[in-house]
């Protein structure tokens, strides 16, 4: 049985993997990390479904191996219930900052998957 710290660590590891260009370019790898019921409200305000995100991820920021990468900071997590972790953090990519929030849940087979994600842009003057 994992401790609460282990659960947060697993969610953080998954979050960081989703920022990796190799994962962003691979539908198969991204599929392992996204819950089939995944929903995102992006920094643009757009609502993304699981299939939409899998299709778009290779074209999104942070996917090119030689391009800008997400730089996360201040990542913290809390266990909301057994098998459910809430992460909050900030990212910078190409000069743009966003505050982010993710819900990760543990599947029946023991894998951690992102269930929900929201990004809120941080104005330059903030």
* pTM beyond 0.95, yes or no: no
Helix, strand or coil, per DSSP, at residue 49: strand
Tell me what pLDDT residue 126 has: 65
Rounded to whole angstroms, what are the CA distances from 27 to 18, 51, 52? 11, 10, 11
Phi, psi of 91 (to 5 degrees): -130, 155
Evaluate if residue 1 carries a pLDDT over 50. Answer: no
Tell me what pLDDT residue 108 has: 85
Cα(54)–Cα(60) distance, integer angstroms = 10
**pLDDT, tens digit (0-9, with 9 covering 90-100), for 77-109:** 999 999 999 999 999 998 899 999 999 999 988
Please name every residue paired with 48 in a beta bridge, in sequence order, or none if there are none: 40
Cα(126)–Cα(122) distance, integer angstroms = 7
To the nearest whole number, what is the mean pLDDT of the chain? Answer: 93
Report the residue count for the chain.
Answer: 126
Instruction: Give 3's pLDDT tier (boundaries 50, 70, 90).
Output: low
Identify whether the C-beta of residue 112 lies closer than 8 Å to the C-beta of residue 10: yes
% pLDDT > 90, the chain:
83
Instruction: Give 5's pLDDT tier (boundaries 50, 70, 90).
Output: confident
Rounded to whole angstroms, what are the CA distances from 42 to 10, 29, 71, 121? 23, 21, 17, 9
Instruction: Give 4's pLDDT tier (boundaries 50, 70, 90).
Output: low
Q: What is the mean pLDDT of residues 60-84?
A: 94
**CA angle 95–96–97, rounded 5-degree value:** 120
């Amino acid at each position: 049985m994992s401790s609460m710290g282990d659960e947060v660590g697993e969610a953080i590891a998954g979050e960081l993997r989703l920022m990796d260009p190799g994962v962003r370019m691979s539908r198969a790898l991204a599929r392992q990390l996204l819950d089939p019921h995944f929903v995102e409200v992006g920094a643009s305000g757009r609502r993304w479904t699981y299939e939409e995100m899998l299709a778009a991820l290779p074209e999104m920021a942070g996917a090119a191996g030689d391009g800008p990468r997400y730089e996360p900071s201040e990542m913290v997590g809390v266990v909301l219930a057994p098998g459910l972790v809430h992460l909050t953090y900030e990212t910078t990519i190409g000069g743009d900052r966003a505050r982010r929030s993710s819900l990760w849940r543990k599947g029946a087979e023991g894998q951690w998957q992102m269930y929900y994600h929201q990004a809120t842009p941080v104005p330059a003057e903030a």
